[in-house]
Amino acid sequence: MTNGTNGPGGPAGTGGRRRPDASMTLITSMLERPLDPGYQQAADRREAQGLPRATSYRTPLVIVLAVLTGFLFAVAALSLRPKPTAAAQVKAQLVARIEGFQKQASAQDAKVVALTRQVRDYEALALKQSGSTDLSGQIAGLEVQAGTVGLTGPGLTLTIDDAASTEAGGGAGSRPSSGFEPGRVTSADLQIIVNGLWGAGAEAISINGHRLSSTAAIRFAGQAIIVDFRPLARPYVITALGDGTGMQQLFDQAFAGVYLSQLTQEFKIRSVLKTADALSVPADSASRLEVARPIAPAGSATSTGPGTSTQRNAAPGTAPPGGTTAGTGTDPATSTDSPTTAPSTTSAGNSQENP
Amino acid sequence: MIPVFGLLAGLAIGLFMHPSVPVWLQPYLPIAVIAALDAVFGAIRAILDGIFDDKVFVVSFLSNVVVAAFIVFLGDQLGVGAQLSTGVVVVLGVRIFSNVASIRRHLFKA
C-alpha cells in the first residue's frame, strides 16, 4: 500500500529536531513500518471504546477473503506458468529426428561393415573356386593400402589437447591461423603432425578412431576440426602403426616434431607421445564409390557407356556423393541457362541412345 | 486455523476449476499475487501483534491489489510497464520481507 508515504515517517516526527534521514522518508517508512498503520489506528480506536484491541480473525469476511486469495494464487500459478511453445515443440521434434537419424546412420554403418565382410568372403570364395590364389593375396594387399580393413600392430599414440587454459599463451604472439585462440589445436597442426607421422614411416593412422585413408582430409569448420566430414572432439588421439621407437626418433627430429615441441613450449598445447606393442586402427568406413560405377554386363555396357561418360566429364567436381544413380545431379552444371531445360535434354539424349 | 482452511479451499477450487484468464488480465496477475501476499503477511503480523482488524485487512487487501494493478496499467499506457512493475515488486517485496522477519521474531523469539 502507498499509505507509508504520508505515514508517521514524515519530517514532523520528533519535535524540533529534523531526522537526519528526513529526505528518505519513503525508504525509512517502508523499512521501519512495513505493517499497515491502519491496524494500529483501528486497535487504538477500539481500545478507546473499551473493546478488545484485536477482533477475531474468524469472521466471514476474513474467511471469504482467504478463499479468494487461495483462488487468486491458484489461478495465477496455472495461467502464468510458461507453456510449451510451438518453437519448443519444433525443437524437440528436430532433436528427436536428429537422434533417430544418428541411430539409423550407426545402424547403417554396422550394416555396411557386415556387408563388406560378406562381400569379402564371397570374393575369396569366388577366387578360390576360379583357382587363382595370387589374386586374393593381391586384393588383401591392396585393401590394406586402401584402408578398407582394420589393422593391428605395434606403433605409437600421440595425444594432443588444447592448453589447460586457452588464454595461457595469450601474450606469446599470434598464431599463423588468426581467429583461433592461441592455445587451441588447429586443423593445420593436425595436418602437419599427421604428415610428419607419415614421413616417419607410419603405415596406418587413425585420429580418434577415424581411419585416415588416401582420400581422408583434415579440415576445419569454424573452430571444429573435421576428419573425413566427421567432427572431432578434443583430446585428439592419433594412433599410428609402425615401428614405434624408430618412428618416434624420426618424428622428433623432423619438422613436425619440432613444430609440436614449439606448440607445447609457446602455447602450452599438451601432447603425450607413447609407444605401444599392440594398437589397432579401424577400417575406413567412409570408403565408397562416388563418381565411378562398375561396368554393367557386356550387352548394355556398350550402349550406355558413351552417354554417361560425357555427362560425367562435363562436371566431374559437382557430382554429389549419391549422384551415381542418375544424371540429374550434374545437369544444372551442363546447362547453365535454365535448370528446367536440363531434364528434357538428358531425356532426349537417353532416348536417342536407347534404341 | 479457519482462514488457513479457507486459503486451501480457494487453492483447491482454483486448481480444479482451472478457469481461463482473459489475456488482457494476465499482466496484472503477478502483481496482484504479490500485493495479496503482502496483505496476507501484514495480517499475520497484526494477529501476532494482537491488533488484527478484519475490516482493515479486507480494505488493505483490496486496495493493495487494485492500486498495484492500476500502477501496472498506467505503466503499460505510458510505456514503462516493466519498470513500474519492478518498482511495485521491490516495494511490496521489502514489506513482505520485513513483515516476515517480524513474524519470525514473534514465533521463534529470534
Please report, for chain B, the start and end positions of each structural domain, with discontinuous segments joined by +.
Answer: 23-108
Residue A343 has pLDDT above 70, yes or no: no
Q: Does A38 touch chain B (CB under 8 A)?
A: yes
Give the pLDDT score at A11. Answer: 43
List of residues 6+ apart from A174 with CB closer than 8 A: A182
Q: Do B52 and A39 touch (CB under 8 A)?
A: yes
Nearest to B56 among A38, A63, A80 (CB): A38
Q: What is the mean pLDDT of chain B?
A: 86
Residues in chain A closer than 8 A to B36 (CB atoms): 69, 72-73
From chain A, the residues in CB contact with B55 under 8 A are: 42, 61
All residues of chain B having their beta carbon less than 8 Å from the beta carbon of residue A78 are: 14-15, 18
- The whole-number pLDDT of residue A101 equals 93
**A228-237 confidence digits (pLDDT tens):** 777 787 788 8
pLDDT for B28 beyond 80: yes
Q: For B23, which residue in chain A has the nearest alpha carbon?
A: A79
Given a cut of 60, is residue A300 above it in pLDDT?
A: no
Work out the number of other CB atoms within 10 angstroms of the CB of residue A313. Answer: 10
* pLDDT digits 0-9 by tens, A7-51: 444 444 444 566 676 676 767 776 676 667 778 888 888 888 877
Q: Does the pLDDT at position A107 exceed 90?
A: yes
Query: What is the distance in angstroms between the Cα of A329 and the nearest Cα belonging to chain B?
Result: 53
Global pTM value: 0.43
Check residues A2 and A210 and name the one with the higher pLDDT. Answer: A210
- pLDDT on residue A144: 77
pLDDT band with cut points at 50, 70 and 90 for residue A287: low
Question: What confidence tens digit (pLDDT) does each residue in A163-199 have?
Answer: 776 544 444 444 555 555 677 888 888 888 888 888 8
In angstroms, the Cα distances linking A353 to A3, A59, A294 are 96, 100, 19
Tell if the CB–CB gap between A62 and B57 is shorter than 8 Å: yes
Q: Give dist(CA A229, CA A213) in Å, integer.
A: 13
Q: What is the mean pLDDT of residues A336-355?
A: 40
Give the residue on B whose Cα is nearest the Cα of A47: B51
ipTM: 0.84
User: Which helix (H) or strand (E) segment is A214 a member of?
Assistant: none
The CA dihedral of A319, A323, A324, A325, to the nearest 10 degrees, is -150
Nearest Cα residue in chain A from B91: A30
Give the three cell numbers for residue A344: 528434357
Is the model more confident about B88 or about A174? B88
- Interface residue A47 vs chain B (CB under 8 A): no
Q: Nearest Cβ partner of A76 from B3, B29, B99?
A: B29
Residue A249's pLDDT band, with cuts at 50, 70 and 90, is: confident
Nearest to B53 among A39, A65, A73 (CB): A39
A70 touches chain B (CB under 8 A): yes
CB within 8 Å: A58 and B3: yes
CA distances, B11 to each of A127, A210, B16, B35, B84 (Å): 82, 60, 9, 17, 28
Nearest in space to B50 (alpha carbons), one of A40, A32, A83: A40
Mutation site, B13, B17, B52, B84, interface A, largest A CB count within 10 A = B52
A290-299, B1-10, B47-56: least confidently modelled range: A290-299
User: CA–CA separation, A56 vs A46, rounded Å?
Assistant: 13
**Distance in Å, alpha carbon of B14 to nearest chain A alpha carbon:** 5
Q: Which long-range contacts (CB under 8 A, 24 or more apart) does B86-92 make?
A: B88/B31, B88/B34, B88/B35, B89/B31, B89/B34, B91/A30, B92/B34, B92/B35, B92/B37, B92/B38, B92/B64, B92/B68
Q: Do B49 and A39 touch (CB under 8 A)?
A: yes
Q: How far apart are the first and last CA of chain B?
A: 24
Mean pLDDT confidence for A321-328 = 40
